[in-house]
Structure 1
């Protein structure tokens, strides 16, 4: 017998000779079935390992899919694509196969069942193989953590929007809610499923916004004060402990908007006359009605200067210009008594104007700029 026949291996199952195969690298494990001939090898060979069925749990409210230990937003109009993904992840192709191609064709059986027809092909031991399998996908519906918390009224932080010695305007309350909605939208777009507004409630003192996390409450209150002015204080309350023994707090973020807003006319009581407020963000800013000079409070951010409110630009009325006396004075008709009165002429006064808007207050009669109603809030 020749050396080649003497070294040939035989199949331990059927006794047929086994074709010579490439030996594994030194130290690499040898496949247990490598000693089998092709016929015996393929008798028990499965190109694809597929589960008998796949179950997919979806949220009946928002459509999220439960994967692993968390809920995932998939943005699907139906669950065919979800079924394809779930089945694809559950299939395993034999490690010895190469040049593998596959296709999955869904068949909608009913609302809760999708039958997945899977077709695979590949090359094993230089042999082309094809295999088909059918995997039913069962859709079950439940409630995700987020929707459960929403339905249960869960909240972790409360943003209270209030004014300092005043009630916030409807516009301020509405803007605070818009800010919260914008932040939630950004978090949702980034994939944060724990971000939601539990409730917004209008009260006589201002709007209350309940949010799902303390981080959201902090973000909303910070942006509100940055845009509308004022300051915020935090008031944590211990409510429970989590499973690891960590203390869990609810936090109230008390937002206090500035005492004055754009369009208010105030008297800083510094001897230089009334100020039309243009902005209350940080330091209060405006213009002097007597001269048109700029004004900015020297108080720290979030503080309110000592001043009294005389009215708003909405209180101003139109009256007749009698004469321009000089560069510092103009004569107008008092809108209540119709007497001619000499009042300060600010820089913004139009010398060619026949009529001007004036505000009468305890500080006297003053010209108001035409654009005063559009002062920045």
Structure 2
């Protein structure tokens, strides 16, 4: 035995010499089976530690998986994906294995059972090893807390989309709903399972959007007013107390969109002619259709100056340019009477144009900028 190259130690099981191995680095634990020869070591070696069976509960509505004491969104496309994820989480590979490769082949046994055939390969003590395990995955269906709350009509905030002195138009209502949906989708993507829309209802005055939390309701109301203008007020209502005695409130966010909208033609009655509204963010801004000059409401008036609506850019009609009279006047065909009519020439009018969009109001006929009704 003295001529055998090895560690000088002998296997406590079979008495064969144990090959020389690298010593662990300082601070690293010394492997208990290090004293065994390769033959005895591999007699007991298991490359993979796998459970005999996995049971997983999946929400039948959203596909979330119940793990521990919480529900987790896993983004799985179907139950096979769920089974693969769960098996991947449950399997353990021996710490001494190197160059590990593995694959999984699912077998659909029935609607609720998927048998996962898992193949592993690696290198241990310089020896290539391979192992296959089969793990049945039982799929159970349930309802997660979030979907249960949605189904039960649970909500904490209501955003009421209304107009100041008018009813919001369908485009505004549609955009308000899209804003709420986008914000909820962003929260969900960040892992917030408490963010959801409970219900969207049509009211004679506008839309009501019921949301899961007061914080979400405030965020939606803020984003809508940031994008569409207007403002909102908050009205909390005490509904109950939680288990710790804390008061629980529902909050109504009463949102008022501006009286005027981009595309409205308004008359401030200041003697300078109508204004085509361009923006209602902060102070109302627009352009004079008589001169083309920029208009901005006084700070005190904000988004609602003392004016009345006399038309909408969507009602503009294209008509023929008859002649350019001078720097301040142009002749066009009246779209109703087809008579040549002299109208103000704004700065945005292009003398090279053969046709221009015009709008006829009770105060006169006006040339609008190209694309005003888009």
Give the 3 Å change call, closer, same or farther, for CA 99–70 of structure 1 in structure 2.
same
SS at match of 2:133: strand
Partners of 1:206 and 1:34 in 2: CA distance: 76
Partner of 2:286: 286
SS at match of 2:180: helix
Q: Alpha-carbon deviation of 1:52?
A: 0.9
Contact kept, 8 Å, 2:76 with 2:82, in 1: the verdict is: no
Larger deviation, residues 343-352 vs 193-202: 343-352
Partner of 2:18: 19
Partner of 1:347: 346
Query: RMSD of the TM alignment (CA)?
Result: 4.5
1:172 aligns with 2:167: no
Q: Alpha-carbon deviation of 1:324?
A: 10
Q: Alpha-carbon deviation of 1:246?
A: 6.2
Partners of 2:273 and 2:98 in 1: CA distance: 88
Partner of 1:359: 361
Partners of 1:202 and 1:226 in 2: CA distance: 22
Give the 3 Å change call, closer, same or farther, for CA 334–146 of structure 1 in structure 2.
same
Partner of 1:74: 75
Q: 1:232-247, aligned counterparts within 5 Å?
A: 232-239=232-239
Partners of 1:105 and 1:54 in 2: CA distance: 16
Contact kept, 8 Å, 1:237 with 1:249, in 2: the verdict is: yes
Partners of 1:241 and 1:156 in 2: CA distance: 13
Contact kept, 8 Å, 1:200 with 1:207, in 2: the verdict is: yes
Contact kept, 8 Å, 1:327 with 1:345, in 2: the verdict is: no
Give the 3 Å change call, closer, same or farther, for CA 92–326 of structure 1 in structure 2.
closer
Using structure 1 for the length normalisation, give the TM-score: 0.76
Partner of 1:130: 130
Structure 2 alignment gaps of length 5 or more: none
Partner of 1:108: 108
> Number of aligned pairs?
365
Contact kept, 8 Å, 2:157 with 2:210, in 1: the verdict is: yes
Give the 3 Å change call, closer, same or farther, for CA 334–110 of structure 1 in structure 2.
closer
1:268 aligns with 2:288: no
Structure 1 alignment gaps of length 5 or more: none
Q: Alpha-carbon deviation of 1:266?
A: 3.8
Partners of 2:168 and 2:188 in 1: CA distance: 29
Partners of 1:327 and 1:84 in 2: CA distance: 75
Q: Alpha-carbon deviation of 1:110?
A: 0.9
Larger radius of gyration: 1
SS at match of 2:182: helix
Partner of 1:369: 367
Give the 3 Å change call, closer, same or farther, for CA 44–374 of structure 1 in structure 2.
same
Partners of 2:111 and 2:306 in 1: CA distance: 68
Q: 1:1-377, aligned counterparts within 5 Å?
A: 8-14=8-14, 16-22=15-21, 23-25=23-25, 28-68=28-68, 69-76=70-77, 78-239=78-239, 248-288=248-288, 293-300=293-300, 302-310=302-310, 345=344, 347=346, 357-360=359-362, 365-370=363-368, 374=372
Q: Alpha-carbon deviation of 1:10?
A: 4.4
Q: Alpha-carbon deviation of 1:235?
A: 3.0
Measured against aligned partners, the alpha-carbon deviations of 1:217-254 in whole angstroms (never above 9, x if no partner) come to: 33332232233221222334454566677665433222
Partners of 2:100 and 2:264 in 1: CA distance: 75
Partners of 1:206 and 1:350 in 2: CA distance: 40
Give the 3 Å change call, closer, same or farther, for CA 157–300 of structure 1 in structure 2.
farther
